[in-house]
Amino acid sequence: MIRIFIGFDAREIVAWHVLCHSILARSSQPVSFVPLALHNLKGLFWREPNPLQSTDFSFSRFLTPHLSGFEGWSLFMDCDMLMRADIAELWALRDDRFAVMCVKHDHQPTEASKFLGKPQTAYGKKNWSSVMLFNNTKCRALSPDYVNTASGLELHQFKWLDDDALIGDLPRDWNHLVGYDAPNPTARNVHFTVGGPYFDEYAACEHANEWFAERKAMVGAEQRASPSTERGSASVRD
């Protein structure tokens, strides 16, 4: 079972569901989805919102190892993504030498704001934490007390690890930053980090057409007569 924890923000509900659909539609292995919705985390997450955070799950993502019982591996993903490949291929990259694995971006945004007018911030290791494979037994420092009291930089810059050598590399294709990285038609997972196509101002961004197609596939329903309808039709004919 591939355990997947996905950040949840009520302002991006459609993004959460489309990402889940894109994963499920392509996965060759069983998956489980856990929404990191704050109203489900009472008693575990109590820190006050930070004016600089752009989503509700900016910090709750680091509860993933605790919610996994500090056992096995788990995957965390931001919700503003679209999976274009079999997630089992990402899962197969787990390496027990590391405590956490991620794409090590050199992301240095220059704009002042992002979606919904939220402030854009620049810091070392930015976006590393947007896709993380957690080796949960090696992440025991991420207790609820620590996650609720550590600074944002301590969390997102992995200062809860004794050594950066415990951070493993994932190929860039698994966290392609739309609008920052060079266009990549073969990206396995695309990240609409500055704003997803479900916001009007980003409706024409790279991979937007695929996102809309995925949403259409998610909400579609094959039109087929139900068994009761078919039985009813037969009785009338009789």
**DSSP strand E in the chain: where?**
2-7, 31-36, 73-77, 81-83, 100-102, 131-135, 167-169, 176-177, 189-191
Where does residue 35 rank: exposed (0-12), middle (13-18), buried (19+ CB within 10 A)? Answer: middle
Enter the pTM of the model: 0.85
174, 181, 180, 216: which is closest to 198 by C-alpha? 216
What pLDDT was estimated at residue 235? Answer: 35
What pLDDT was estimated at residue 118? Answer: 56
Would strands 2-7 and 31-36 be described as parallel, antiparallel, or unpaired? parallel
Task: Give the residues across from 33 on adjacent strands.
Answer: 4
Residues in the chain, pLDDT under 50 = 112-113, 115, 228-238
What pLDDT was estimated at residue 117? Answer: 54
User: Which domains does the chain possess?
Assistant: 2-237 (3.90.550.10)
> Rounded distance, CA 188 to CA 103, Å?
12
- What's the Cα-to-Cα distance from 79 to each of 65, 103, 143, rounded to whole Å? 18, 16, 23
Task: Give the residues across from 37 on adjacent strands.
Answer: none
208-219 and 13-26 helices, crossing angle to 10°? 80
Please answer whether residues 55 and 7 qualify as being in contact, where contact means their C-beta atoms are separated by less than 8 angstroms.
Answer: yes
Q: Which residues contact 63 (CB under 8 A, 6 or more apart)?
A: 36, 41, 44, 45, 142, 144, 147
35, 84, 28: which is closest to 55 by C-alpha? 35
Provide the token pair at 88: 């089992």
**Residues 141-151 pLDDT 10s:** 999 999 999 99
**Residues 66-120 pLDDT 10s:** 999 999 999 999 999 999 999 999 999 999 999 999 999 875 655 544 545 555 5
CB atoms < 10 A from the CB of 22, how many?
Answer: 24
What pLDDT was estimated at residue 180? Answer: 86
Angle CA(10)–CA(11)–CA(14) in degrees, nearest 5? 85
What pLDDT was estimated at residue 50? Answer: 72
What pLDDT was estimated at residue 194? Answer: 86
